[in-house]
Amino acid sequence: MDSRRRTGDPNPAEAALDFVRFCHRRRRVGWPELYDEMCAVASRGLYHGWGFGDLAEHGIAFNLMEMPRLAGIVATVAHEEPERRGRTLVGVIASVPLSSGAVEETPEAVIHPAVLVGSAR
């Protein structure tokens, strides 16, 4: 048994999900860009000091045969992301005339509606 693994370590499935969540928080991108981020994190040991071998023990393998499984884990994390993100701020700005009212308004003299979307943090 590897001395770095303790009996209190999370189960491999949860550790794999947590690793993908960690990488997704670092760089909010989708597949395949997230794969590149996961490789970068693994090569530098940025997640609990784990390299490729440690991650393989916890259910994260980067070989071609494991791509469908890894993509499934990424899809699970991406699916739960809106639930973890919290409330979203949405505002709508109404049309506002640019003129002072003395000049007849033309379609070019009106700012058209816009929607602002952001995350509340």
pTM, two decimals, is 0.59
Q: What is the pLDDT of residue 107?
A: 54
Q: In the prediction, which pLDDT does 30 show?
A: 82
- Cα–Cα–Cα angle for 54, 60, 61, rounded to 5 degrees: 95
Model confidence pLDDT, tens digit, residues 8-51:
555 768 899 999 999 999 988 888 889 999 999 999 999 999 99
Q: So what's the pLDDT on residue 2? A: 42
- Residue 6 backbone phi and psi in degrees, to 5: -105, 160
Q: Please tell me the distance from the alpha carbon of residue 6 to that of residue 120, in angstroms, as a whole number.
A: 37
Which tokens hold the place of 95? 């049309």
Helix (H/G/I), strand (E/B), else coil: 73: helix
Average pLDDT over the chain reads: 74
What torsion, rounded to 10 degrees, do the Cα atoms 27, 30, 34, 36 define?
Answer: -110
Region 90-103: mean pLDDT is 54
**pLDDT for res 47:** 95
